[in-house]
Amino acid sequence: MQLRLLYFAWVREALGRGEEVRDFPSGVTTIADVLSALSQYDERYAGAFAAPERLRFALDQVYAGPETPIRDGGELGIFPPVTGG
Amino acid sequence: MQLRLLYFAWVREALGRGEEVRDFPSGVTTIADVLSALSQYDERYAGAFAAPERLRFALDQVYAGPETPIRDGGELGIFPPVTGG
Amino acid sequence: MADRVIETRVQTAPFDAGAECAALVRDGIVGAVVSFTGHVRGSAGDVLELQHYPGMTEGQIAAIADEAARRWDLTGGLVIHRHGPLPVGAPIVLVAVASRHRGDAFRAAEFLIDWLKVKAPFWKKEGDRWVEAQAADDAAAAGWQ
Amino acid sequence: MADRVIETRVQTAPFDAGAECAALVRDGIVGAVVSFTGHVRGSAGDVLELQHYPGMTEGQIAAIADEAARRWDLTGGLVIHRHGPLPVGAPIVLVAVASRHRGDAFRAAEFLIDWLKVKAPFWKKEGDRWVEAQAADDAAAAGWQ
């Protein structure tokens, strides 16, 4: 299961990157699973994702809750609540 | 009792004038009295003022109902409902 | 009128809505500018004639502007109402309001045009026909009481 | 986007709000143009940095614009949202809506900015601090459901 991951605002700064492509094992099926998997890889992910209620998600550029199933080749955006306008 | 009278829109056109100064006898004390007095002077006034519910009034540039008392030297505007904006 | 929150002008000349709105933004305190422009509708070649009551017009518009400044938290504003002959498409009226937060500017702008419609002594003539007042305008203004 | 009632743009460049609004008035059918501009607040010298999610931004703004065009009787409109570094006072966003009758333009303009605030993926950074989202914005958007 491969995902293109995009990070914005303080999430991007905390992770030190704006974008990456990663493969996940077959047990990773939802956005919440992705956060857990990433948090196990690296302390910076663990720190940035420690309070998931402060995060919002978009799957293929559409807002999605943490229990939304991911798809192979999909694009997952992870970011704080938006503050435009 | 002297009044400066100002007419606008179709009232002005019906009367053939935009402004005049007129003296009224002492029995003329309200805007409604002014309309009656003018209507007796001249057919054009009688025609223009025949349906007073189609008219609006301003005494000294403030909106006023037909029963509002007039004052000597005052300014009375007579016009249809406004349509600006 | 320099000490009014909302400036008012009655004129025959056109106005530059963009420049007027930009002039309301200063000091880093203005977060929102809402503007309304009303335009002459009709067919190509039509001309609208706008008559007004000099003196009373200025007084009524200033009173409405002051009422808006009392009701909402505004940093500035401007009302321009034109009179005279105006071709189809021409701007008739500009209402522009600046505020810290957008809700105040939206409320004040709509209040101003709703009240101008029923209080400012202007009369529109389309060709040789004087435009009739609309009950919808009275209803809109009454909603702010 | 040429066949959309409300055009949308995401750009770093400034915009000319007056010219954009004037361009919405055509054919003698437009009676009202309502515009909203949002500006950078702060102290002289402050700079706001606006980051966005390219692709998703355009999609979200277009969806909001189409929803406004479905809900109200509009003759045209335009949404411009800027990104990148912006000084205090600079315009961030333009919402401009044209309609036959002013109520539609007022409703649609406020709907557009209320929804852009909570749906368009932009993030503001003031100095070295990321701006926190405001509950008032969620409440304003929820009012249109």
pLDDT tens track for C107-133: 999 999 999 999 999 999 999 999 999
Structure tokens at A67: 């229990």
Specify the pLDDT at position C26. Answer: 83
List, as one string, the DSSP characters of B12-32: HHHHT-SEEEEE--TT--BHH
Cβ-defined contact of D29 to C40 (cutoff 8 Å): no
Cβ-defined contact of C21 to D17 (cutoff 8 Å): yes
The kind and range of the H/E element at D52 are strand D47-52
Specify the pLDDT at position C3. Answer: 74
Rg of chain A over CA atoms, in angstroms?
A: 12
Q: What is the mean pLDDT of residues A22-34?
A: 97
Read off the pLDDT of residues C24-42 as tens digits, 9 standing for 90 and up.
Answer: 998 899 999 999 999 999 9
The kind and range of the H/E element at B35 are helix B31-41
Q: Locate the chain A residue with the closest alpha carbon to D94.
A: A85
pLDDT(B8) > 80: yes
Contact D8, D57 (CB under 8 A): no
Specify the pLDDT at position C145. Answer: 84
Q: What is the mean pLDDT of residues B30-37?
A: 98
Subunits next to A (3 or more Cβ pairs <8 Å) are: D
Task: Give chain C positions within 8 Å (CB) of B83.
Answer: 122-124, 130-134
Subunits next to D (3 or more Cβ pairs <8 Å) are: A, C
Q: What is the mean pLDDT of residues C69-87?
A: 98
Structure tokens at A11: 């999430």
List, as one string, the DSSP characters of D78-91: EEEEE-EEEETT-E
Provide the terminal-to-terminal Cα distance of chain C, rounded to the nearest Å.
25
Mutate one of C79, C117, C123 to test the B interface: name it (highest B CB count within 10 A).
C123
pLDDT(B10) > 70: yes
- Any B CB within 8 A of C119 CB: yes
pLDDT(C142) > 50: yes
- The alpha carbon of residue B73 is apart from the nearest alpha carbon of chain C, in Å, by 17
pLDDT(A80) > 60: yes
Cβ-defined contact of D44 to C31 (cutoff 8 Å): no
pLDDT(D3) > 90: no
Specify the pLDDT at position B13. Answer: 97
Cβ-defined contact of B58 to C53 (cutoff 8 Å): yes
Q: What is the mean pLDDT of residues A24-40?
A: 97
Q: What is the mean pLDDT of residues D120-136?
A: 95
pLDDT(C2) > 70: no
Read off the pLDDT of residues D15-29 as tens digits, 9 standing for 90 and up.
Answer: 999 999 999 998 899
Read off the pLDDT of residues B38-74 as tens digits, 9 standing for 90 and up.
Answer: 999 899 999 999 999 999 999 999 999 999 999 999 9
Share of chain B above pLDDT 90, in %: 98
- Any B CB within 8 A of C79 CB: no
Specify the pLDDT at position D1. Answer: 43
The answer to whether B and C touch (≥3 CB pairs < 8 Å) is yes
- The alpha carbon of residue B43 is apart from the nearest alpha carbon of chain C, in Å, by 22
Assign residue A50 a region (left: φ > 0; alpha: ψ between -120 and 50; beta: otherwise): alpha
* Burial (CB count within 10 angstroms: exposed 0-12, middle 13-18, buried 19+), residue D29: middle
Interfacial B residues in 35-64 facing C (CB < 8 Å): 58, 61, 63
Cβ-defined contact of A6 to D53 (cutoff 8 Å): yes
pTM above the 0.90 mark? yes
Cβ-defined contact of D53 to A80 (cutoff 8 Å): no
Contact D89, C25 (CB under 8 A): yes
Q: Locate the chain A residue with the closest alpha carbon to D132.
A: A83
ipTM comes to: 0.94
The kind and range of the H/E element at C87 are strand C84-87
Distances (CA, A) of C81 to B67, B84, C31, C90, D93: 31, 9, 25, 12, 27
The whole-angstrom separation of Cα C125 and Cα C49 is 5
Contact A78, A57 (CB under 8 A): yes
